[in-house]
A and B are shown apart, each in its own frame.
Chain A
Amino acid sequence: MSETVADVSALIIQTLLANPKVPRDISGGSKIVEDLAFDSLAVMNFVMEIEDSLDVSVPLDRLADIRTIDDLANCIVSLKQGG
């Protein structure tokens, strides 16, 4: 199975919207910390949910470079392609 960045981004948004505290108008360009008001722990816990959906592990050091939902989607697609 090979997900595209758009597929993964859509899945991330869908997962986020299951949380009632998340603003309804998020998009791929939304910043995870600033726009979603997630603290460091909330980001790590949310990424864990995505990891399970996509059967991938995102090392914590990769999270440091991720600002937006699309950044996270790009990172996951790259990890799934062995990068």
Chain B
Amino acid sequence: MSIFSKYEPLARSLAAVTDGGGRNPFAVVIDRPISSTVGVIEGRETLLFGTNNYLGLSQSEAAIEAAIDTLRTHGVGTTGSRIANGTQGLHRQLEERIAAFFRRRHCMVFSTGYQANLGMISALAGKDDYLLLDADSHASIYDGSRLSQAQVIRFRHNDADDLHKRLRRLDGTPGAKLIVVEGIYSMMGDVVPMAEFAAVKRETGAWLLADEAHSVGVMGEHGRGVAESCGVEKDVDFVVGTFSKSLGTVGGYCVSDEDGLDLIRLCSRPYMFTASLPPDVIAATMAALSELEQRPELRHRLMDNARRLHAGLNAIGLRTGPQASPVVSVVLDEIDQAVRFWNRLLDLGVYVNLSLPPATPDQRPLLRTSVMATHDAAQIDQAIEIFAIVARELGLGH
């Protein structure tokens, strides 16, 4: 028997997606970027509406220059973990910059956003503790919970009353209770009612960790995320985030006012046993953070663009999430319909993400788009027009 035989159902699912000559949606190659909003795919210039590059900073001139300068002075890699092979001055500088941005006392950086959730959740929650996870949590949160060996309880998506009920069932049980929510949920773009969760946290004495991966640089007056926009940052004990979305690079972090955060460096395996961020990435990230701080107009333009796309897709009769956010997903009913829609969008020059169950809520396939501050109105209107053409071809929408 082949070691791969357990993946036969997966192979059949993939074949169902590619049967009839469709592309493999998980193997699209962007040959090269022309700008933050346009890339070359299959030899054609294609509008990018699926890169999570919310502020367009992956192509920031300042970040590129900072990375090049730092490559010349520091070299191309760190060749090891910070625990085993040493922290570089740049790691400390980055942590101080991120902590100052969030007005927190401590910051730990990780090599990816995935590892930040994995490393924080697994180390904060021990085997006698309880993790309370939103049902629609990202895979990195679920994986962190498995690595933690804690008792894991799900509550209904964005439902603070349901969380309260589940915490009440734990009354009198020993062990810390850690609530985990996200700022903006990555599949539908819906925003957490953070003030409601903060109230439950205060009332029950639980701890609260917020993954603001998709909301930092996007929400809040200073771009610190949903907790800032809701005025409840003090109630969030741990903020986890990533550099690979609004900051355009790669890496993850956790900020907190808890002095115990430094101990996590000595017990978080995804922090300890992996190579640390390379110098050019750190320099580019710090430059991008300065740009995020100094150019609030990027956030305003991003939200204007999100509203334009959300309204436009709804106007042509497609079903999206309830609120405009930088993630705008079109909800479809059948997988084969979604696969055909996605292929035709790419034929006509628009790249979006095809998201399939079980990675989506409610078992429905999604055409997931992410908007950028650097899209101009004409690009958004063109994308909406192409969605309308394909919807008509498939007998959907108006």
Binding site for B on A (CB under 8 A): 39-42, 44-45, 48, 55-57, 59-61
Contact A60 B145 (CB under 8 A): yes
Give the size category of B's interface with A: 10 to 19
In the complex, what distance in Å separates the CA atom of A69 from the CA atom of B146? 23
B174 CB–A CB distance under 8 Å: no
Besides A39-B358, A56-B169, A59-B153, 19 new A-B residue pairs in contact (Cβ under 8 A), listed by A number: A39-B357, A41-B357, A41-B358, A42-B358, A42-B363, A44-B135, A45-B135, A48-B154, A55-B169, A57-B153, A57-B169, A57-B170, A59-B151, A59-B152, A60-B153, A60-B154, A61-B149, A61-B151, A61-B152
Known: A41-B363, A44-B135, A45-B135. A60 touches B152 (CB 8 A): yes
- What distance in Å separates the Cβ of A4 from its nearest Cβ neighbour in chain B? 21
Main secondary structure, interface of A, reads helix
Interface of chain B, helix or strand or loop or mixed?
mixed
Which partner residue on chain A sits nearest B136 by CB separation? A41
CB distance from B177 to the nearest CB of A (A): 12
Q: Determine whether B295 belongs to the interface, using a CB cutoff of 8 Å to chain A.
A: no
Q: Which residues of B contact A42 (CB under 8 A)?
A: 358, 363
Complex CA distance for A45 and B157, rounded to whole angstroms = 11
In this complex, what residue of B is CB-closest to A43? B358
The answer to whether the Cβ of B300 comes within 8 Å of any Cβ in the partner chain is no
- B344-398 residues with Cβ-Cβ distance < 8 A to A are 357-358, 363
Give the distance to chain B from A67, nearest Cβ to Cβ, in Å.
16
B92 within 8 A of A: no
Is B166 interfacial (CB-CB < 8 Å)?
A: yes
* CB of B202 closer than 8 Å to a CB of A: no
Tell me whether B156 is interfacial, beta carbon within 8 Å.
yes
Q: How far is the CA of A60 from the CA of B151 in the complex (A)?
A: 7
In the complex, residue of chain B having the shortest beta-carbon distance to the beta carbon of A58: B153
For A60, what are the chain B residues with a Cβ–Cβ distance below 8 Å? 145, 152-154
- A9–B56 Cα gap in the complex (Å)? 53
Residue of B nearest to A44 (CB): B154
- Give bound CA distance, A48 to B170, whole Å: 16
* Distance in Å: Cβ of A78 to nearest Cβ of chain B: 14
Question: Most chain-A CB neighbours within 10 Å: which of B154, B169, B363?
Answer: B154
Instruction: Please report the C-alpha to C-alpha distance between residue A55 and residue B135 in the assembled complex, in whole angstroms.
Output: 17
Tell me whether B135 and A48 are in contact (CB under 8 A): yes
Name the A residues within 8 Å of B135 (CB-CB).
44-45, 48
Cα A60 to Cα B137 with chains together (Å):
14
Interface string of B118-157 (1 = CB under 8 A from A): 0000000000001000010000000001100101111010
User: Which residues of A have CB within 8 Å of B169?
Assistant: 55-57
Chain B residue numbers with a CB within 8 Å of A55 are 169
Could you name 24 residue pairs across A and B whose Cβ atoms are closer than 8 Å? A39-B357, A39-B358, A40-B358, A41-B363, A42-B358, A42-B363, A44-B135, A44-B154, A45-B135, A48-B154, A48-B156, A55-B169, A57-B153, A57-B169, A57-B170, A59-B130, A59-B151, A59-B152, A59-B153, A60-B145, A60-B153, A60-B154, A61-B146, A61-B152
